[in-house]
């Protein structure tokens, strides 16, 4: 059955630590671009649904009325942090190559060009000498990236890849992300009204991610998807946390991360990591860093007046 807007869907997951929950909604739209402002380089092509995807519910399957998995719940856009907005799921046609790669190689390596891109629109197309409002518009070229080495420039419009047309930036991201590092792709571009073909040898997305994580200043965020801050008197007062409570304040949680899947939310306070008490963000980060690669981490969390243990499952790939 072909997925279409208006179709009824069910979202499964474990929101807020509650196991085996299901919500119902409809498909609002297909092929949605990445709506998050945190990183515009993240792929799009999302399924948008009003089936509730609360913190901790990401990673569960989105299924149709026949019980077929059509996507993986990823995140929600909400002004309140709880479900009062739009949910987004990655389509199975994008997930499947990732699963196949995990089964075959034990990990997933994504290729990347090293460019920022956005959609060509009816409003901006005339400025780039393209007749159709289609393609991926290059907005940035990272230094020493594959795109830079190949000679791509800001203002180029990528209209095709490996002989296949590119209608928007999401299509290009998905196509490139599913390629192995070391693969050479041929891009068809429009530059100042002229068509050109540019070969680009992809490099590893994992290497770029590792470089970004090593330079991150947020305690604990890269590996576990959680940003930590010290518990200040002002924060303690806002949260109505007892004076005798000491730990690391959860400042932000990356959607789809181990912390998100464990149901952690901004405002939670981490008291222990792997059964060791922590007094600050740096202590919590150090203890999380001691967790052996491939193993889970146990955290004791104070939230809304009570303590609960949560397991942060290690991220694979």
Name the band, by pLDDT with cuts 50, 70 and 90, for residue 172.
confident
**pLDDT higher than threshold 80 for residue 108:** no
**Residue 179 · residue 187 · CB < 8 Å:** no
CATH homologous superfamily, domain 111-205? PDZ domain (2.30.42.10)
What pLDDT does residue 34 have? 67
User: Which residue spans of the chain are classified as CATH 2.40.10.10?
Assistant: 8-104
Structure confidence by residue, pLDDT tens digits, 229-279: 999 888 888 888 998 899 999 988 888 788 988 889 999 999 999 989 999
Structure confidence by residue, pLDDT tens digits, 152-163: 998 899 999 999
User: Which residue spans of the chain are classified as CATH 2.30.42.10?
Assistant: 111-205, 217-312
- CATH class, range 8-104: mainly beta
217-312 carries CATH number 2.30.42.10: yes
- Quick one: residue 225, left, alpha or beta (phi over 0 = left, psi -120 to 50 = alpha)? left
């Amino acid at each position: 059955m072909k997925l279409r807007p208006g179709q009824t869907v069910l979202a499964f997951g474990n929101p807020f630590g509650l196991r085996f929950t299901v919500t119902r909604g409809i498909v609002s739209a297909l092929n949605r671009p990445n709506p998050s402002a945190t990183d515009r380089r993240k792929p799009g092509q999302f399924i948008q649904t009003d089936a509730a995807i609360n913190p901790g519910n990401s990673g569960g399957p989105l299924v149709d009325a026949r019980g077929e998995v059509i996507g993986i719940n990823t995140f929600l856009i909400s002004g309140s942090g709880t479900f009062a907005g739009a949910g987004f799921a990655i389509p199975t046609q994008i997930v499947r190559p990732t699963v196949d790669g995990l089964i075959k190689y034990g990990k997933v390596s994504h290729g990347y060009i090293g460019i920022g891109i956005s959609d060509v629109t009816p409003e901006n197309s005339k400025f780039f000498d393209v007749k159709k409002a289609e393609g991926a518009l290059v907005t940035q070229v990272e230094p020493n990236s594959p795109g830079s080495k190949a000679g791509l420039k800001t203002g180029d419009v990528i209209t095709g890849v490996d002989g296949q047309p590119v209608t928007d930036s999401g299509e290009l991201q998905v196509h490139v992300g599913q390629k192995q590092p070391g693969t050479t792709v041929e891009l068809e571009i429009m530059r100042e009204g002229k068509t050109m073909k540019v070969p680009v040898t992809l490099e590893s997305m994992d290497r770029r991610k590792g470089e970004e994580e090593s330079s991150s200043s947020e305690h604990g965020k890269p590996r576990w998807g959680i940003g930590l801050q010290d518990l200040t008197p002002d924060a303690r007062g806002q949260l109505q946390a007892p004076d005798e409570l000491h730990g690391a304040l959860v400042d932000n949680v990356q959607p789809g991360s181990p912390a998100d899947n464990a149901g952690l939310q901004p405002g939670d306070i981490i008291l222990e990591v792997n059964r060791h008490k922590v007094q600050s963000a740096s202590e919590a980060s150090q203890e999380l860093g001691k967790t052996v690669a491939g193993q889970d981490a146990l955290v004791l969390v104070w939230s809304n007046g009570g303590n609960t243990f949560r397991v942060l499952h290690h991220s694979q790939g």
